[in-house]
Structure 1
Amino acid sequence: MSADVKGENQLYDDINITPMLDLAYVLLVIFIIMTTASVQGIKVKAPLTSAAVSLAKPQTRAITVTRDGQLFLDTFPVTLVQLQEGLANYKAANPALPVVLKGDVDAQYEMIMAALEICKKLDITEIGLVTKRAPQE
């Protein structure tokens, strides 16, 4: 009987950390999902159109021209020279490189044409222009 009493009152030498690790892993997964969901590229106000087509393809690169004429390749600010070098590297890895051009509705047309000229020089033929679907009347 004295052995049973001693076993019930014995202090633990270690702490069970499994529930704490489970919580940490759940929080890590939530953090990863929320972080990747919020990274969608550079925000621009796209022009409206009545015909919209999905341009979602694997390894698609995005060129963005903001209202003030700043260029971005995916989410990184670039100059025209850096844009050409970056696209050339991607084109070397994938000859059928798809590119989407997102221009703000108030963007400088000259910068959009310069980006298109770079794509033409690099023989990039799969180019899509990002627009918003106009409301149906």
Structure 2
Amino acid sequence: MPRRRNRHESGITAEINVTSLVDVALTLLVIFMMTAPMMQGGVEITMPKARTQSVPSNEGLTVTVDKAGQVFIGEAAVRLDEFERQFPAMVKEKGATSVYLRADDGVPYGKVIQVLGLMKAADVASVGLIAEPEPGQQ
């Protein structure tokens, strides 16, 4: 009767090469750390400059008006008539206590006031206007 070999006598070991796994994990971590700031895009606009404090990006609900006059709730584009219907529902849904308006530097003042009026008509307690800090201001 042939003798059975135990695990140590066969010479075959079933081990995971942890070094390769760690190398891949660290490489992916570095890639994500480098690309994460680039992924925070949103709607591309040139904001006006003013003496201002920075607003935390995760706080509240943000409405954006781009250079073409297109209105965005967060990153979703909406027509102005849709905005009038959707905005109050989104404020209630998210329970937003802070609402912010970002507008491109080239948007006509009348368009900004029109969107601001629709935001105030939605019974929002306060609307903040977002601008970039002036150069040299920290």
TM-score calculated relative to the size of structure 1: 0.71
Instruction: Name the Cα RMSD after superposition.
Output: 2.8
Aligned to 1:25: 25
**1:65 to partner: Cα distance:** 0.9
Asked whether the equivalents of residues 90 and 97 of structure 1 are also in contact (C-alpha less than 8 Å), the reply is no
Aligned to 2:55: 55
Aligned to 1:45: 46
**1:73 to partner: Cα distance:** 1.3
Point out where structure 1 has 5 or more consecutive residues left out of the alignment. 1-6
Point out where structure 2 has 5 or more consecutive residues left out of the alignment. 1-7
1:118 aligned partner, one-letter code: L
Deviating beyond 6 angstroms after TM superposition, the runs of 4 or more aligned structure 1 residues are: none
Aligned to 1:73: 73
Structure 1 residues 55-83: Cα deviation after superposition (integer angstroms, max 9, x where no partner): 32754111111111111111121112333
What aligned pairs does 1:56-135 form with structure 2 within 5 A after superposition? Answer: 56=56, 58-93=58-93, 95=95, 97-135=97-135
**1:104 to partner: Cα distance:** 0.8
Q: Take 1:45 and 1:56, find their aligned partners in 2: how far apart are those partners?
A: 18
Asked whether the equivalents of residues 62 and 102 of structure 2 are also in contact (C-alpha less than 8 Å), the reply is yes
Q: Percent of aligned positions with the same letter in both sequences? A: 20
Q: Take 2:94 and 2:121, find their aligned partners in 1: how far apart are those partners?
A: 16
Structure 1 residues 14-46: Cα deviation after superposition (integer angstroms, max 9, x where no partner): 452433332343344445444542223212111
Q: Take 1:75 and 1:99, find their aligned partners in 2: how far apart are those partners?
A: 14
